[in-house]
Structures are given as structure tokens and as C-alpha cells.
Amino acid sequence: MTQSTNLQTDFQAILHNLEAARGQSIFLTTTQLLVWASKIFERAGLSSQDAMIMARTCVYPERDGALSHGLFRLPNYLQTLVAGNVNINAQPTVVQETPSLLVVDAQNGLAQPALQTVYEQLVQKTRETGLCVVLLRRAFHIAALWMDVEPLARQGFVALTCVNASSCVAPAPGTSAVYGTNPMAFACPREGHEPLVFDQASSLRARGDVMLSARAGEEVPLGTGMNSEGELTQNPKEILKGGALLPFGGYKGASIAMMVEILAAALTGGQFSWEIDRWSQPTPDTASAGQFLLCIDPTVAGQTMFAQRIQDLAQKLLDSGQSRLPGDLRYTTRAKTESEGIKVDADLLLGWYEQTNTGVNTSG
Ligand code: NDP
């Protein structure tokens, strides 16, 4: 039996289970959810290969309890695909290459499939030369960044990545948005443990969190953002309507946002966050942004005990009172959901499936 037949059979079984669970929540395995989400992406016009990559992009954070970038994002992807704001027929192209550099034009397609096209080259160049940098431009990235570096740490590498996004963050001090929420993620191996990974936005709060507060009628902490007059406000609606978010840690966080902007936009040849015309669009998430990814092989640098040294550092941090290391919560949740399944709303999943019945605009 071919793999596609298996996937189709599995899909029909999941559909049956979801239909039976209408109006309720249901537990699915990670694999079942991947089959489901990839089917939806396929129905929205993606190739089966890209559909599975994007399914992982939504399902893995859901599995890890990182809900702000899990299935919650699937409707954003569908809206964007339906609106034709992302080129689903993009053929990512390496436009510049050296022994340790890959410059990739994603042609306004999805970032994750574009990165996948050079993944093997990235690994090979890193092993051969000790490091490799990928500079990706004109890519659509609204996902959690840890997924782009954790697999590299599992191969023994140190990896650092960052992306820019549509502007909604002011510098500090500043009165108008210049930066995107500009996240960065770092990962490296840790002997005897899961890789050490951190992944964080440059803004004090994610824009999605501010939107959720606005919807709930709640105030946000002072320092989250400012209104259109450049005055600090705790009213999330004022921040979202012509105001701006603020970086974490004042000018120090602003410098991190600036560095991300330089690495992900100026260095890749992509658009600065303030050049990305997103908020004027009728549909959300039209960012054609840039991504920087650096991968280093510590063994080529002569650090054959690197992972053990990281474990020594981690232990020292825990001994000194740090309650947990970044990434630990995701790993704990991952272990739990891998054994218990992922709880999903049957109506929500069926709704997305039905939504993709109507077809999409496939132009780029
Ligand atoms: P969080 O503030 O939730 O977490 C940031 C990091 O801190 C994580 O690595 C987290 O690990 C760690 N952490 C949290 N609490 C502790 C603690 N008590 N001790 C030690 N470490 C801790 O992330 P953000 O809200 O800043 O970002 C959320 C997600 O949004 C990220 O995945 C980011 O990539 C994504 N994002 C994507 C954008 C895009 O355009 N693609 C734009 C902006 C954000 P743990 O995971 O274990 O909790």
C-alpha cells in the first residue's frame, strides 16, 4: 500500500471520529493531527510536501503547548492562501552561494518550505566548513521560530535564527512603529538532555496577546505599548489602533530588535519591517519578510566536549536557583501530549476542513 493511500485511509478515519465528536473535544495523536492539518493545507492549494511541512508548523507548537503559534494560526494561513497573498507556486532559488553561505529568494512563498529546500546543503556546509549562514528573503513567516533551530541542535550544531515582520514595535524612546515583533531563537545540544532552546520576541508582549487582551476587555501591563500620541497606555485597543508595542527591557531590547532588523532585512536583501505593507491589507499576514539563520559545528571548532560543557552550565544555573531552563516547559508538555494525545475541538477542526471546500486563489 502506498503512503498516500495510508494517509487517505487515516484521514477518513479521523474525519469519522471528528464527525462523531461534534460539539465536543476529542484527543488526537500528533500523527493524526498532522494528517488532518496537511489535508487542509492540501485543499488550500499546497503540494502534499509543502502541506506536511506547514502541518508540522501548526501541529508541533500545539503538541508542545505553545498555543499562540499552534492550530490557532491555521485560519491565518488559510486566509492568506485564499487571498493569494502568498505565492503557493513559489520556487525558492539560491541566488548566491559560497562554501558557508546560502542566499535564498523565497519568491514571496512560505518560509518553512523554502528553508527545507536548502536544509541538506546547510547541514553539509556546516559539517565541511564549521559554519553556514542562510539568508532568506521574501518569505512568509508567522510561526514559532524554535522549530527552525531545534532539529539542528539535535544534529550537534549551535543554531541562531531571527526573522523580521510587519512593523508594530516602536524603538525606545520612540513614538511610532518601526520594527516587527522580531523574534530570535537559539538552540544547542546539552549532554543527556533535550537541546537547550530559547525563542522570544523582541517586544515585551506578543501582538497576538495584546489582541486577546483587547478582545477580553482587559488592560495590559504598563510598558506594553503606547497610543497614537506616543503616550504609554494600558488600553490594548489604543495600542492596536495607531499606537505601537514597545520592546522588552527599554533601549536594550530595542537594540535586539534593531539587530534582528539588520540581520533579517538588510543582510538578506529583504524588506525592512516598516516597508512591509501589512496593516493596510484587507486580509492579515501578508508579510514578505526576511530570515537569518546561522549554524555552527562546535566539533570543527575543536570543542569535542561542547554538549557536556552546556550541561555543566545548565546544572550551575539550576543549582543557583533558576527554576527551569528555557524550552523545558515545551518538552514537558510534549512528553505529556505524546502519551495522552492532543485535545482539540471537533467543530473547529471540521470548520477548517469545510472552509477549504471553496477553493483558493493560487496566483502569487
Ligand atoms: P515567551 O515569552 O512565551 O517565551 C520566551 C522564552 O522564554 C521561551 O524560550 C520560554 O521557554 C522561555 N521562558 C519562559 N518562561 C521561562 C522561565 N520562567 N524560565 C526560563 N525560561 C522561560 O515567548 P514570546 O511571547 O516572546 O514569543 C512566543 C512565540 O512567538 C515564539 O515562539 C516566537 O518565535 C513567536 N513569534 C513569531 C513571530 C514571527 O513573525 N514568526 C513574531 C513574534 C513572535 P518555554 O518555551 O519552555 O516556555
Confidence at 189, pLDDT banded by 50, 70, 90: very high
pLDDT of residue 363: 35
Rounded CA separation 307/37 (Å): 35
Instruction: Give mean pLDDT, residues 162-170.
Output: 94
Ligand 1 proximity of 163 Cβ (cutoff 6 Å): yes
Collapsing DSSP to helix, strand or coil, 157 comes out as coil
| Pocket flag, ligand 1, residue 165 (CB < 6 Å) | yes
Q: How confident is the model at residue 2 (pLDDT cuts 50, 70, 90)?
A: low
> What is the reported pLDDT for 6?
77
Residue type, 188: C
DSSP, residue by residue, 285-337: ----EEEEEEEE-TTTTT-TTHHHHHHHHHHHHHHTT----TTHHHHHHHHHH
Q: Which of 168, 199, 224 to mutate to test the pocket of ligand 1 (most atoms within 8 A of CB)?
A: 199
Measured from the CB, is residue 162 less than 6 Å from ligand 1? no
Choice from 329, 331, 332 to test ligand 1 binding pocket (greatest atom count within 8 A of CB): 329
Among 348, 352, 346, which residue's Cα sits nearest to residue 24? 346
Q: Would the pLDDT of 69 be above 50?
A: yes
Please tell me if the CB atom of residue 206 comes closer than 6 angstroms to any atom of ligand 1.
Answer: yes
Higher pLDDT residue, 277 or 167? 167
Instruction: Report yes or no: 297 and 157 within 8 Å, Cβ to Cβ.
Output: yes
**Model confidence over 140-155: pLDDT tens digits?**
998 999 999 999 999 9
pTM as predicted = 0.93
More confident residue, 6 or 186: 186
Per-residue pLDDT averaged across 42-49, rounded? 95
Beta strands 131-140; 101-110: pairing state: parallel
Judge whether residue 177 has pLDDT over 60: yes
Is residue 61 lining ligand 1, measured as CB closer than 6 Å?
no
Among residues 316, 349, 311, 290, the alpha carbon closest in space to that of 15 is found at 349
Tell whether ligand 1 has an atom less than 6 A from the beta carbon of residue 58.
Answer: no
Q: Which residues are CB-neighbours of 172 under 8 A, at least 6 positions away? A: 246, 247, 250, 251, 253, 254
Q: If you measure from the C-alpha of residue 200 to the centroid of ligand 1, how many angstroms do you get, rounded to a whole number?
A: 4
Taking only the tens place, the pLDDT of each residue in 71-100 is: 988 998 998 888 888 899 999 999 999 999
- Is residue 148 flagged as an active site residue? no
- Do residues 181 and 202 make contact, with C-beta atoms less than 8 angstroms apart? yes
Instruction: Tell me if residue 270 falls in helix, strand or coil.
Output: coil
**Cα(313)–Cα(297) distance, integer angstroms:** 19
Dist CA 137 CA 2 (whole Å): 36
Place of cell 499606537: 243
Nearest by Cα to 157 from 136, 131, 183? 131
* pLDDT on residue 211: 83
- Which position among 209, 328, 345, 347 bears the catalytic label? 209
Looking at residue 278, its pLDDT comes to 63
Q: Which residue has the cell 549554524?
A: 295
- Is 141 an active-site residue? no
Q: Is 198 in the pocket of ligand 1 (CB under 6 A)?
A: yes
39: cell is 489535508
Q: What is the pLDDT of residue 1?
A: 47
61 Cα to the center of ligand 1, angstroms:
11
**Annotated catalytic residue: which of 38, 64, 69, 213?**
69
Name the nearest CA neighbour of 350 among 121, 138, 43. Answer: 43
Cβ-contact 216, 201 below 8 angstroms:
no
Phi-psi region of 126 (alpha: psi -120 to 50; beta: other; left: phi over 0): alpha
Give the whole-number percent of the chain exceeding pLDDT 90. Answer: 82
Domains and CATH numbers, the chain: 3-82+341-358 (1.10.1530.10), 93-204+246-296 (3.30.1370.60)
Mark whether 202 is an active-site residue. Answer: no
Tell me which residue has cell 533558576. Answer: 322
Share of the chain above pLDDT 70, in %: 94
